[in-house]
Every structure is written in structure tokens, then in C-alpha cells.
Structure 1
Amino acid sequence: MFAKITTGDRMGGLLSYLAGEGRANEHTDPHVVAGDATVMAWHFDEQLTRESALDLAHHLDRPRRNFERSAKSGGVATKTKPHVWQCSLSLRSEEGQLPDEEWQKIAEAFVERMGFGDHEGTKAPTRWVAVRHGLSAGTVDEKTGQLGGRNDHIHIVVNLVREDGTRAVRHNDFIRARDLCRELEKEFGLLPLDPNSYEVARSHARATWEEKRRDERGAGADPRIPWAELDDDQQRILVAEEFASPEEFERAWSARETHAETIVSAGQYQYGEQEQAARRKARGRFEADRKAGRETREWRFLPKAERDALINAAIVAEQPRWAMARTVRACAGASADEAEFVRRMRQHGLVVRPRFARGRTDIVEGYSVAVRPEAGESPIWYGGNTLGRDLALPRLRAEWPSTPQSADAAVAEWSAGKAGSPAVAAGRETQSPDPAMWQDAAARIAELRKQLAHVPLDDHGAWAKVARETAAAFAAWSKATEPTPGPFAAAADTLARSAQTTKPIRPMTALPSVAGTAYLLMAASKGGPAAQMAMLRQLIALGKAVHDMHAATSAAKRATNIEQTIRGQLAAVDARLAAASSPAAGPAASRGHSGHSGPGATPAQPAQRPTTAPGRPWTGPGEPGRPDRGIER
């Protein structure tokens, strides 16, 4: 289930739209499925017209109007913030349609847990309603012209002004709504973000059952019982009918508890944040075209379909936080000190903004970064800690030398970055490393792997350090060789999750640092296919060690993410490097299938993800038959 949140100040306009025909005449049956006590008493299951929608809006908006009227009569000037909070809850298209009774329970649970209820009598309640008006309009595939993605959904509309005039808190509502959707998926048996084959089949079976139940009720016949009232054996029999053979069903049944974290492994992030960033970027480009005379209309007068198309294009093209996190992580891992870190970020298209201590200009306490904006755009800033806890400035400084000279050099570079001036000095970022460093870096990683065999599982600081440096190496390799995010970027994002700790933790075990690997890889030094293959296999072995640590500590999802990334994507890169380094390989073999030089080039066909039988030890590429002994004890 997906949540999309918007806010505004026109309750009547929003309810009129929900009761209307829709942008593409997709609103076929607008009616109320849930709401506060008064809504349920007077409007439940009511077929909404424009008149009844305005009457409903009048009811929902009354606390805000009463509060404003009272403030004005007392001579107090008020400036009301947007008070209309709207959230659409959408199912996956494979889910089919839920009955109104199910949507009512979901809406009531969602509103209460979002904090808009009375919170067990301690707060004045809000006024709200949930409207259902048929499936979404869907999207048209540009290649096939077929309509797809029609989702069953509801719109929850809340007046943020409570009955006593106080305002409901919506802090972090995007994140809270996302997490709540995950909870409700489990409670109501809905498809998760990354469903497996059993869950998809179960959803199809349930949708078919409920559709027949609605048809029977509409024909005046005695309807069958709801799907939720079927016992487990009955549901399992119906789900089995969705599969081509009993063998396929048994495979799906045995793997029904398996999930991958799509948001993490795909390098995406919370949808509301993504849409907001894309909206700003799309509008900035539109205004730039308008100033240049290429466009005469105003953004606010564009048809909604055209605005949405521009925003969706920006969503596809940009994923600011994840992309910036990879860049910052690669720059941090490749830098020998803080000043070099600042220069590298600017070198790779970021603008920096230091946060000085109060009343000082010689002490930097934190930083924010943004992608260098184009003309007409405003920068979208992210703090280091927002990009990743391991990217907070105090944690980065723990890996760099701390001397008066290094501090002065760093402040000078931060100040230059804030002013948009050229770098104060030049450092390693302008130099090409010796190709012989490939062998030395691989040897350091091999030594680290040996020592990992003796690192306790509860030494969280040591394992976070290994994950951080390995993620930085993959991020640096991605920056050097992947025009668009590919296998190296996916590996960096996945391993970076294992580097996050809620507070700084000092490793209990002294381990050799492999941070210099990121410096080598970011410089794109040509070590040849054989050297690159050796390096890749050593990094894969480090990722395998982190995987084993998670598997041994019952962090199954995290271990699965790492395994799928390495086996499903990096294995294909390893195979190409092996082919390119063989004596029989011709000149064309040293290039990626896409024509882009470098090991990170995306293959023409995606590699098939190998499967792992339950209980079977996994071995990384290059080490057939022998598991890494990192933590298997």
C-alpha cells in the first residue's frame, strides 16, 4: 500500500473534486466509506454529489472557521496555516478491489495511528472523512499503448484544526505514513512493497472471491461469506488454483515468508520526499523556459496532466538524496583529510554549505550539500546526517588526522565553498595514482579479510567500519565507471545500510583500513581487467563477510539484500572481467556490453538472479565451493 500526502486550505474545492468526474472521467462511484462520528451518522455510504460534498466540507471546516471567527472578534490578527491534510492510500494494481468494510477499518486505523484521533481521550478529535471513487486513471505504456496501473484507493481528508482550536501535529507525516502502511499491510493481509509470487496469487484469489461476492449481492442472491472469514485451508486451496501446477504452488508456499527491501535495494527513497524534490525541479526548469521566452504560460495555469507529466519526468531522472549520499560517501572514502573531502564534493558537482559554530567563522560543526542547480532552480539541501548517519561530520572526522594545520585548511575550503570561490589549494584529487596501487590495495583487503575471522559478532563498531569502507569503495567505482547507477551503485547503497549506527561506536578490534581503495577507484586508474577483477573479488569477499555477520545475528533481510545484490549484479560484472582478462579475449572483450568502457557498464540483458536452496552455503564469485570464513563459527 502506498501513501501520497498533500496539504492545502480549500476544503470545499478538494471535496468537490473528489465527488466530481475526475481529470479523466475516472471517478465512477464517489461515496463515503469512513469518517468521524458525525460523518458516519449522516454521510456513511452516501453517494456524493457536488451539493452533498460541499455540505460535507462545511461540516469538516467548522472548527477552523469558529477558531478564526473567535480570534478576529478578540482583535487578534490570524494567519492560518494550510489546514486541509489529504492522503491517498493506494493498493498495488495486482491487489484488485477491497470491500468498503475493509477500507473503513483501514482508514480508521490509519487516522488514529497518525495521531489525528483523540489519543485515548487526551486530545480533542479532528474532523475527517474517507472518500472512495473507483479505480485510478492508470498510466499508458508509451511503447504498447496499453493502459495499466489502475489502483483501488481511498482519499482521507483531515481538518488539522481540532475541535478545541489546537492544531494536529503532522511532523514527519511522510515517514510516519510510510511506516504505518507497512504495519497495515501485515494486519490486513495486503501486498507489501516487494511481494513474492505466493502473495500476488493470494491477492488475485481474494480479489476474484470478493468480486463474485459483490456480483451475488447485487443480483439479490445470498452472497458467499467474506474472504477474511474463510479458514486457512480454504484460502490455501483457492490460492493453489492460481498456479499452473502443484509443484509451482509448493515452491511459492515454501518461500512465502521471503521478502526483499525494495526501497533499499533499488536505491529509492520515501515517495513524498521524492515527489516534492521533483516538483521543485520541474517548476524551476519550467520557469527558466518562461524567462527565456520558450514558454508563455504560467506554472499554476498548466493542466494537471501536463504538470504531472513534467513532475514524473523529474522523478525518473532524479533521485537526489540517494545519488548525493553515494557521491558524498565516495568523496569521504577517497579523501585523506577534511579539506580534500570538501574539494572532492565540489569537483563532483555538489555545492556545499558549512554550519559554523554560533558567533564563529573558524569552527565548522556540520554541513549541508546540494546538487549544483541549473538556471532558474533552487538548490535542494541535505545535511550530512540526513544522507546517512555515517556521513555526519563528527563521524567522518574520526577517520581523518586532527591537527591545527588540517583544521585551518578545512575551514578555508569550507569558506570558499560557501562563497562559491575556487578551491584554496589543490591536493590528491588532481593527481593520478600509480597503477601499481591496485595490487597493494587488493593485498590490504585480503589482510582485512583474514582478521575479520577473529572479530566478534557484537563488535558493532568494527563491522560498521568494514561496511562503510566497502560501500565507499563501490560508490567511488560507480562514480568513475557508471554513467547511470548500476551494479556498483546498488552494492554501495546496500552495504551502506550496514554502516548506520544510532551513535558513534568505537571498534573493539583494531583492523587495517582499506579507505585508500576508494581513492584508487575514484581516480579511475586503469589497472587492467585482471587487476580490476582481483579488486572486485576482494570487495565482494568483504561484502560476503558482512552478509555472514548479518546471517549469524538473525538479520535475515539485511543479509538477503546483500546476497541478492552481489549474486544478482556484481556476479555479472565479475564474469565480464574474467572474460576480458583471459588470453583469448579480444579488444572488444575489455568493453562492457553497452559500449561504455569500464567494468561497471550495464549489460545489454540483465543477469538472471541465481537462487539459493534453503540451508545451502553461499559462496561469492571467484571462490566456488568454499564459503568465506569471515564469521562462520
Structure 2
Amino acid sequence: MISKAVHGNNTLGALRYLFGPGKANEHTDPHVVASWDGFAPDPGRHQSATLEQLRDALDLHVVQYGRKINNHVYHRMIRADPSDRILSDDDWAAIARRVMAAAGIAPDGDEDACRWVAVRHADDHVHILATVVRADLTQARLRGDQYRVEAELTEIEREYKLKDLSDTRTREYRDAIPKRAKGKELHKAQRLGREGTDRDRLRTAVRQALAGAADEEEFTARLAAKGVLLGVRRAPSGDVTGYKFALPTGGESGPIWFSGSKLASDLTQPKIQARFALGVDDPAFPTPDPRTWPADGRHRASTTIEHAYPAFDDDPDAARAEAVIRGGLEVLDTLAATSPTLSRKELHQAARALEYTRIANTRAAGADLRAMRSAARELLHAGPATGRGEDGTAAATILTSLVLLAIVIAKWHAAQGHRHQADAARTAADHLRAAYTRHAAKPIAHLTLEGRLLPKPDHDRQADAVRRTLPADQATRLLAEENWAALAATLAQAEAAGHNPTTLLANAAGRRELATADSPAAVLTWRIRRDANLPTPAPAATPDELRTRAARARTTSRTTSTPAAPVITPPAPVAPDQVRRTR
């Protein structure tokens, strides 16, 4: 079976389509086969029922919620293969209930579940329309719904003896994704008001303890520091054959243990030991001052990430790709653990999304994985960052590199036909962009203001360097960007520090993936500031000084018959270094 969900804001519009004739009169006998309570109005079979009545019933909790909700409509189609037998309305009703439970719309036994209705208007498929506000006026937790639905559909295909539409790639994907929580675990987390289940929290804690760890001793110590219990299974010979993990509960029943394989396929004892066997490089910080280490670690890790981009070149080398994905996950887990609260949640969510991009049954290339694990270890030893000053600039730099890495992963998976993994990588990129915005807005605003105040000869000299260094189309696009002023200021600072702007531009632009960025100027700004070791952007002057300099610039412009300089106003918050989504 094939299933896909879309989201929207117009419940009545979606119902009109489902009960209408279709785009080519392909809808025949549209009618309700199942609903949240079994008593939803059916405009297809009962003349007294109207679309508006059904809309009002579905939207009841949305209205009661009292605040605007973006994309409150959840629309999922489920289609059987044309070669399958025709299922009855009762069959489709049972399938719809199971899919809604798996998606998180209406978990089994949940009296406060969302409202939904399943409409059939053809032999081979059914549409399910739901609203995402529950009866307790909270929103449904839908993250990862597609993956849970895919797993449920595999069971449905087996039980109903339908054609298995999960091809080899999909099966490999399902082997790679984290093991999902069961119904009791979900209900427990909901009852206790927790963000995730014990299994989810445990998997995150184990991954963070493993990130950058050099050996089993360090891994064990970091697990203990996080309050994670470790159990070791041994063979009669005394050799270790398995790990199991648990979170202390304090209850009489004792902790609930999960083997590594029940958390994720790459958290088994043999695979964890294989990472230790690769070794890891000890960090060597360029300065003896520990206060600069968080920024140094982030700058050096961003360089390592950019060196990993070629692993996703046109040659589909799954071993190198898996190495960078696993290593990138360790970098993200470490970055989340050492970042300020400002961006920690987004980084954590990006890491959890990146888990779904792994490639099952693939041995990671050793050199690439060691390099990325060493970068994670460097972040760990650099210590927590404050998010201010140089730390904030360094965070913007590494987040730029990680956004581009997520997009490279998405492009690679899309080229291999791995739709789910590509979607997960794009989700990770979205979270990383949000984290980037929080760190980059202030420093790039300072640079933009400074760039706008550059004397015209200095400005023109940097523009000429761009035209000489980059291809004509890239140079034209870059010079037209809003962030060009920030890059011009950076090039001027680097030149004043004794660097050659042309050389810096060539090196920064040669690190790939510049074309995929919505703002190449911002990408180049952070790369050049890192490479030239430029100081943290700060306000160029006091407001009175800025007004005086702006007035002088306008006077000089009029006396030299050059175009008038723009009025200096504080720049609007700059959009993140977003990367175009590659579909």
C-alpha cells in the first residue's frame, strides 16, 4: 500500500474535493466508511447531512482551541496496488483506524484523540481527513508519522495478503530508522506529560554519551554521568556479547531495560565497539586560553564538515555516505549538549531527524567516520559555549556548514530514490536553519551596517575582487544580495589585517555547495571570517557617530556626482543562511 499525508488550513475545501466529482469525474459514490466515533455525518449517503455539518464536527476542537493553528488539517491517502483484490468498506474502515493510531491522530484507547473521517470514492483507495487538535485542546504529536504509518502498512499488507510495496530501499530504510515506541510506552509518556517515551529519551542519552567517546571506559563514565544504567551481557568465556540500557525509575518494579538493538540498529555492542576500534584524534587547541576553546572547536569542526561534502559526489559510495551521516550525528549530538539554551532544542531535533537518514546494512568508511568523530570529540573537549561574542559567530559558522551538509545528504538520498531519508534530511536542515537564525542575526546585522558605511573606493575594490574571482553569474547574484554588504565589510577587514581578498574568496568559494545556498554571501562571510581569524563583529560606532558618517558620505557623494548613498537605518533581521530545498 502507498500512503502520503498533506497538510492544509481549509477543512471545508478538502471535504468538497473528497465528496465532489474529482478532477476528471473519477470519484464514484463517495461515502464515509469510518470516523472518530462511528457517527460522523455522511453527505455522500444521507441527503440530510451537509459538508458544512461535517466540517463543523471535525473543526470543533480547533474552534475551541481559541488560537490560529497553521495547517490544522491532516489529509492522508491510502492506496492499494491495482493487482490487489478489492477490499470491502469494513476492510478499509479497519485499515483507517490502524493508520490513524499509528500516525498519532487517534492512538488506541485514547478518549481525547483527534477527530477524523475516512472517505472512499474508488475501489482501490481511501482518503482520511483529520484535524490535529485533541479533545483536551492540545495538538497531536505527529513528528515521524510517515515512518510509523509505513511500518503499520507492512503489517497490514501481510495480514490482508496484499502486494508488498516496500521495495528493497524501503526495507533498508526501515532497518536503519530508530525502533519506534509501543502503545504502552506512548500512553505512559502522555500520562506523565513527557516530550518523548523512555525509549526515545534513552536512545538520545546513549547517543550523546557515545558521541566522540574514545573507548568503552569513557563511554561508560559518560553514561553514568547522564544517569543511564548499563548492563553487560557476557558469554561463558567472559567476553562481552551485548549491552542493555535503562533509566532509573525509583519505582518498585525497577528499571525497564532496552538492548542496544531495541534502540537503534547502530547502537548494538559490536557496532559501538567498532567505532572505538577506529580510534579518534585527541583535540589540539591553537591557543592556551580555555576561554577561546569553544569558538576554536566550532571553527575547526566546521572545516571538517566541509571536507566531508565530497563523500556525496555523483558516485553513490554508500560506505562513505554512511560514515559522514553517522559522524554528523555525533557532531550534532555533541553540539546540542554544549550549546546554549538559545539553540539547544533545535539542534536536538535536527539530530533526531538525521537519525532517519542512515543507510542500513552498510559498513561506514573508517577514515571519514574517524574524522567526523574527532570533530565531535573536539567540540566536547572545547566545552560549553555562551552563544555570545566570538562563540555566537563560531556557532553561526558551524551551523552554516551543517545546514549545507544536511542538504547534501538530502540530494544524495533523493538521487538514490530514498524518498524517506531525503525528507528526513530536509527536516534536519529546517531545524538547523532555525538555530542558525538565533546565532547569526545580530553579528551579521553589525557587519551589514559596517558594509553600508564603507567608503566607495573600498566598496568598489571588494566588488572587483568578487568579479575577478567568481564566475560571472555567481558574482552578479552575490553582488545583488542583501548580505553583500556584510561580505564587503568582512573582505575589507581581512584586507586590513594583511590578507588577500581574492585568495580568501577563491578558497572559501571552492569548498563546494555554494550554489545551493539562498545566501552565498552569508556562507562566504562566515567561511572567510573563520579562515582569516577575524574578530567578532561588533557595532561599528555609536548612533551619533553613524549619523555623522552617513551625512558625510551623502555630502561627498553629491560633490563627486556619484549616486547618493542610502540613508543608514538599522538593518532588518537577516534571514538565515537558508539552503534551497532540493526536491
Normalising by structure 2, we get a TM-score of 0.46
TM-score, normalised relative to structure 1: 0.42
